[in-house]
Amino acid sequence: MTKPSTTRRLFAYALVYKFRIIGALLILCIAVGAELGGPYITKTIIDKHLTPDTGELGPVLLLLGGYMGLLLIASISNFSQAYILQATALQIIKNMRMDVMRHIQRIPLRFYDNTPIGQVVSRIANDTEAIRDLFMSFMATFVVSMVQLTGIFVALFILDARLALYCLLLPPLFVVIMIVHLKYSKIFITIMRARLSDMNAMINESIVVMPIIQAFRREKVTLAEFEVLNEDRYVNQIKQFRIFSLSSRNIVGTIGSLVTALVIWYFGRHSLEGLISFGVFYAFIDYLGRIFQPIIGIFDQLTNAQRAFVSADKVFAIMDLEGTEVEKTEEVSRPQGVVKFENVTFAYKEGEDVLKQISFEANKGETVALVGHTGSGKSSIINLLLGFYEPDQGLITIDGRDISTFSKQALRKHMGIVLQDPYLFAGDIKFNVSLYNRDITLERVKDALRDVGAAPFVERLPHGYDEQVVERGSTLSSGQRQLISFARALAFDPAILILDEATASIDSETEGLIQQALKVVSEGRTTLIIAHRLSTIREADQILVLHRGEIVERGNHEQLMALGGRYFKMYQLQKGEKAS
């Protein structure tokens, strides 16, 4: 299916407010008509009331009053149309930004695996802002200019049809100049937008990994890499400004001066011959001078328009990515939590399987641990269970139902997950546990924190449960952050609890608290644990040992130790003992 053009899609956003825009344009026509009436009134005063034969003051004052009235109408109308158009533009961009934000939540995680976060941020923040300039500045300027030019040429034909015909050559001439301007300017604007996106991505990455950059003394190298991007954007911006300077005000002003000189010569010659009045001469020059202001206005906004179209292409490219709708889950019943993998094979890249024929079953109330070296496929199993990716072969079921038949939201509604690197959001502690879920009361938050052993340190904080947490929770220790993320998972009361190396980065004392809490919260739930510390999974009902994407051993701790295989060696190494 052919996708609509960028222009049509932008027009579709504007079409939602068509009546508001049409109303603004009608008010604009009134404003332009009022503005263009001024020179004609002046011409009437000069020709009919400032001649030696007529010297009546009354009609002149009446016409001047009419002139002032037109100026007042033009002023009010211009304010009204500008306010309506710009308010509409802001509403259009608000809608577009929300559409992009909604869509990035529908896009599969594969996209984020290969896309820098800064580029996505740039699409939502910078590129939509550039599109705003199209609706706020260029659209208003273009429409105003078109209406003004139409009105000006109507007035010119009323004054002198033959000379007005010659003036009709000006718009096509300026259109040709604009086409040339757009052709060469777009090249540099596209590069500029791309470099801005790259710079945002690099800035985002640098801030996230600043401790690594400083620890490994990579500051100068990072600056050098950023300078390359910054310099490339600067060079292309200079080239674009050069084109703008040559083909906008400069050339329009030159042509305007030449045309005005020719008109003065034309009228001057006819005035000497007595064929034309001074009032017509004045009005024609006034209207002619007004032709070039709308043209300059359009030229001034061409860069914004090009930037907007380049940005719109990038925004719509994001919105064209296939995604799944975020569905409501109010009616989703709680599952028993029986998880089953049947001959599951999966690859992030085609031909490079990270899981091969994986089969196991985790029943309600059981704890299943996944162990193995880095890259063995542990996290991939969890990613498939959560529906972040789809298996290439095989079947994954919960309570006997294929998880591909669930919506992603229904699938995850009764799952809780705790990651190795816990993420805390900006907000207070009670929000970080409840995540604004209305079903989770303050008492439930406190109970969850108490169950995982976090209540004592939370209550010692200056504001207790209302203590503000900065982004990522950097003011708390890793163990404290982990305990809060445990409480978050428990507060949601999941049927299936997933612990992804959740005890790998905490101290022994905190680990002891979590282990004690887990014995309570795991009862009645299916719990899957990815563990590096084998000492934390000794009580697991089933331990799966993975190696290069395959389950090479399975059983409980005693069975695997008795087997004397890979698990036995890993356990002995962690205890610091030599395997026999």
Q: What is the mean pLDDT of the chain?
A: 83
**Helix and strand numbers, DSSP H then E, in the chain:** 22, 12
Q: What's the angle, vertex CA 402, arms to CA 400 and CA 404, rounded to 5?
A: 160
Q: Which range has highest mean pLDDT (144-158, 375-389, 470-484, 493-507)?
A: 375-389
Q: How far apart are CA 381 and CA 359, in angstroms?
A: 11
Q: What is the pLDDT of residues 11-57, one digit of tens each?
A: 899 889 989 988 988 888 888 888 878 777 877 777 776 666 656 77
Q: Is the pLDDT of residue 82 over 70?
A: yes
Q: Is the pLDDT of residue 511 over 80?
A: no
Predicted pLDDT of residue 568: 93
Q: For domain 424-493, give the CATH superfamily.
A: P-loop containing nucleotide triphosphate hydrolases (3.40.50.300)
Pairing of strands 339-349, 393-398: antiparallel
DSSP 520-576: HHTTTSEEEEE-S-GGGGTT-SEEEEEETTEEEEEE-HHHHHHHTSHHHHHHHHHHT
CB-based contacts of 323, cutoff 8 Å, min separation 6: 103, 106, 107, 108
Q: What is the pLDDT of residues 412-436, one digit of tens each?
A: 888 988 877 777 888 889 988 998 7
56 vs 61, 282, 534, CA distance in Å? 9, 21, 107
Report yes or no on whether pTM surpasses 0.85: no
Q: For domain 6-319, give the CATH superfamily.
A: ABC transporter type 1, transmembrane domain (1.20.1560.10)
Q: How far apart are CA 184 and CA 180, in angstroms?
A: 7
Q: Which range has highest mean pLDDT (270-284, 304-318, 511-525)?
A: 304-318
Predicted pLDDT of residue 403: 93
Predicted pLDDT of residue 580: 43
Q: Is the pLDDT of residue 353 over 70?
A: yes
Instruction: pLDDT band for 579, please (50, 70, 90 cuts).
Output: very low
For residues 409-420, one letter each, b for 16 or more C-beta atoms within 10 angstroms of the residue's C-beta and e for the rest, the string is ebbbbbbbbbbb
Predicted pLDDT of residue 549: 94
Task: Tell which wins on pLDDT, 406 or 361.
Answer: 361
Predicted pLDDT of residue 113: 73
Q: How far apart are CA 169 and CA 173, in angstroms?
A: 6
Predicted pLDDT of residue 505: 57
Q: Is the pLDDT of residue 61 over 60?
A: yes
Q: Is the pLDDT of residue 270 over 70?
A: no
Predicted pLDDT of residue 520: 66
253 vs 137, 247, 266, CA distance in Å? 22, 10, 20
Q: Is the pLDDT of residue 273 over 60?
A: no
Over pLDDT 70: what percentage of the chain? 90
CATH 1.20.1560.10 in the chain, residue ranges:
6-319
Q: How far apart are CA 480 and CA 442, in angstroms?
A: 19
Predicted pLDDT of residue 577: 52
Instruction: pLDDT band for 105, please (50, 70, 90 cuts).
Output: confident
Task: Tell which wins on pLDDT, 182 or 496.
Answer: 496
Predicted pLDDT of residue 231: 93
